[in-house]
Amino acid sequence: MTDTPSSNPHTPLAPRGPRTSRVPALIITVIVLVAVLAAGYVGWQRFKPVPAPEPATEPVASAPLVPAVPLAPTPPAIEHPIEPPPDDAAGTVAALPALDEADRLVGELLNDLLTRSNVLTFLQLDGFVRRAVATVDNLAREQAPSRVWPVNPTPERFTVLRGSDGVQTIHPDNQRRYTPLVEMIDAVDTAQAVALYRRLYPLFQQAYEELGFPGRYFNDRLVQVLDHLIATPVPGAPPSVTLVEVKGEVPSTRPWVRYEFADPALESLSAGRKMLLRTGPANQQRLQAKLRDIRQRIARPQRR
């Protein structure tokens, strides 16, 4: 659960200091993707190289992606179809650009939804659709590499609190770091966000198939990931963490990137669930409420 290397250092678990941290795409990817989802900006997950998959189709060189599990021989039936957007006044739906040329349109639409200031603060627009799709798919997996996050570095350091017994826990004040992101997400009109998602859906679907899922339906995967994140238990107390020992002749100059959850059950959680836990219980519950709202709007009603 160490910080993931990035072009702008790490999100350290250490005493407060220089403002150098990243935002994992937990809720700005699923809500921005569905408008703005990337909840839990903290980097602190252990960095492990992810093996490249055997592509099912011709790979796209420009796609900074992390592949998924082997595909079943026959694609499953679509469970949660996305309805196309309604026709405009002229009775037609505006054509979308090619995926490789979509960054400008996506940026303009996100500016309208989130404001330009929020977009510049939180998002990485270069290849946003591909980044969002890859990150959403990874949130329910062990690793969600920062190189594909559709988000920018965030301020402040992730901090820990050492008790009198020497046990270290996530500092209660740490959740304040996530307040700007959580407030932005709360302020997003979910109906407008989902409408934007529907308009851009063909681009998300194409990016998902390029990722290694030909014949699979991206919205079905998104609903699966939303269910996974919504079901993340809220801890009753700040989780304890432990510093991983690094052996070798070269001293570690950044010990804050080597923390893990002390509880093996927590450390074994998916990347997305660990991100949620690090935001603090109050933020986690607010984010999960937003995710439930999104799910209700993009998924078929559950049969009883």
Tens-place pLDDT, residues 50-78 = 333 444 444 444 444 555 555 556 778 99
Token representation of residue 175 = 């959740």
242-300 pLDDT, tens digit per residue, is 877 766 555 554 444 567 899 999 999 999 999 899 889 999 999 999 999 999 999 98
Cα 270 to Cα 217: distance, rounded to the nearest angstrom: 22
More confident of the two residues 42 and 228: 228
115 DSSP assignment: -
Identify the pLDDT of residue 197: 93
> How many CB atoms lie under 10 A from the CB of residue 145?
22
Supply φ then ψ for residue 160, to 5 degrees. Answer: -125, 160
Query: Which pair of structure tokens corresponds to residue 111?
Result: 């500016």
Least confident of 18-32, 81-95, 192-206: 18-32
Q: In terms of C-beta density within 10 A (0-12 exposed, 13-18 middle, 19 or more buried), how is residue 158 classed?
A: buried
Query: Is residue 114 within 8 Å of residue 32, measured between CB atoms?
Result: yes
Strands 259-261 and 168-170: what pairing? Answer: unpaired
In a 13 Å sphere around the CA of 16, the CA atoms on its Cβ side amount to: 7
**If you average pLDDT over residues 123-127, what whole number do you get?**
90
Q: List all residues 6 or more positions away from 24 whose beta carbon is below 8 Å from its beta carbon.
A: 38, 40, 41, 42, 43, 45, 144, 146, 149, 151, 271, 275
Tens digit of pLDDT for each residue in 188-239? 999 999 999 999 999 999 999 999 999 999 999 999 999 999 999 999 999 9
The reported pLDDT for the residue numbered 275 is: 87
Question: What's the pLDDT at 68?
Answer: 52
Rounded-to-integer distance, Cα 47 and Cα 146, Å? 9
Residue 257 near residue 2, CB atoms below 8 Å? yes
The torsion angle over the Cα atoms of residues 271, 289, 297 and 36, rounded to 10 degrees, is: -60
Question: Distance between CA atoms of 20 and 71, rounded to whole angstroms?
Answer: 38
Least confident of 10-24, 114-128, 135-149, 153-167: 10-24
pTM: 0.75
Within 8 A by CB and 6+ apart from 22, the residues are 3, 4, 6, 8, 10, 11, 41, 42, 43, 146, 149, 151, 153, 154
Q: What is the mean pLDDT of the chain?
A: 75
